Structure 1
Amino acid sequence: MNSHLVRMSSPIGRLEIVANDDAITAITIERSGMLPRDDDAESPNDVARLAAEQLEEYFDGDRRSFDVPLDLSGTAFRRSVWTALIGVAWGEHTTYGELGAAVGKPSAGRAVGGAIGANPIPLLIGCHRVLGSDGRVTGYSGGEGIPTKLWLLQHEGITLAA
């Protein structure tokens, strides 16, 4: 399958959207001014353009859900966590424990955290919506880390514990 690439600006930094012929395979948020495929020429297709359009609408506050096809590559466990995350809507949040219970592994908090950290399609799969059991912000592997997560949570109006 062919690989397609689109970059776009966003309030949290440049985004790199990667797709195969049929679905999105990865999104990367710029970190320290860099994207993994900065040296590659853009090669857009319809699905990558659609993702960029929907993400722009999300950042403008006009879109609260996505309907872009996704191609999730990973272990069955990771895919189950990512699929459960897709069900956490705009403005809602969940915890590592709740996600573990949702995928039938209530005591697998660390493994759930690993799956979340390995999410290849952040934003479309809202891993920023996962908080600690006490409602506090934990880590975030996208963009500049916790500041990026805090921006996304605030954008969606998600209230944090004090």
Structure 2
Amino acid sequence: MTPARGPSVKQHTVIDSPYGPLTLVATDGVLSGLYMTDQRHRPPEETFGDPDDTPFTEVSDELRAYFAGELKEFTVQLHLDGTPFQRSVWAQLQKIPYGETRSYGELADALGNPNASRAVGLANGKNPLGIIVPCHRVVGANGSLTGYGGGLERKRQLLDFERGEADTALF
């Protein structure tokens, strides 16, 4: 018989970034959320747990390096809580190389379901770990910027930054 686990412990902190404050959330000490101000699908603040910087040293260091143009791939451990389909989409997002983009249709094809581009878009929009799970790298079929939970202007800024079309010493 497996011993019963107690409820998950959540903690959060807020760090500065070139794109505004970022709220980092950990579940049982593992990063489970990164939310921008005014982000669509942002959970209520009361679900973030107690303020505590302790579990966020590694991710804060990686984000600082990313915003300084020194890090192209995050290695911090992630706790992604979602449906199996959402987690499969988020896994595909993590395969999009720094500075590149993919369309919703290309992600659907990579998942083996070419008719699922709308479902991919919905899962992309529910991504709880923006920037680290790079949902900003997904564009429309014609390359146009389409929905982004952090706002289209932030999406444009992040893509320009990764393409080297913006200041690299942002942070």
Matches within 5 A, 1:107-146: 107-142=115-150, 145-146=151-152
Pairwise CA RMSD of aligned residues? 2.2
Contact 1:96 1:131 in 2 (8 A): yes
Is 1:23 matched up with 2:44? no
TM-score of the two chains, using structure 2 as the length reference? 0.83
How far the C-alpha of 1:37 sits from its partner, in A, is 3.0
4+ aligned runs moved over 2 Å, structure 1: 34-42
How far the C-alpha of 1:40 sits from its partner, in A, is 7.0
Mapped to 2, the partners of 1:158 and 1:105 lie a distance apart of 33
How far the C-alpha of 1:45 sits from its partner, in A, is 2.4
Mapped to 2, the partners of 1:86 and 1:43 lie a distance apart of 27
Q: Name the structure 2 match of 1:42.
A: 51
Q: Name the structure 2 match of 1:72.
A: 80
Deviations 1:12-53 (A, max 9, x none): 110000012342111101129x9953997521223x221111
Deviations 1:103-131 (A, max 9, x none): 12111111000000000110110000001
TM-score of the two chains, using structure 1 as the length reference? 0.88
Equivalent position amino acid for 1:62 in 2: E
Per mean C-alpha deviation after superposition, the further-off stretch among 113-122 and 101-110 is 101-110
Contact 1:4 1:18 in 2 (8 A): yes
SS at match of 1:12: coil
Mapped to 2, the partners of 1:35 and 1:103 lie a distance apart of 27
Mapped to 2, the partners of 1:36 and 1:29 lie a distance apart of 13
Distance 1:76 1:35, change over 3 A: closer
Mapped to 2, the partners of 1:98 and 1:52 lie a distance apart of 31
Structure whose alpha-carbon radius of gyration is higher: 2
What percent identity do the matched residue pairs reach?
37
SS at match of 2:45: coil
Q: Name the structure 1 match of 2:155.
A: 149
Matches within 5 A, 1:54-65: 54-65=62-73
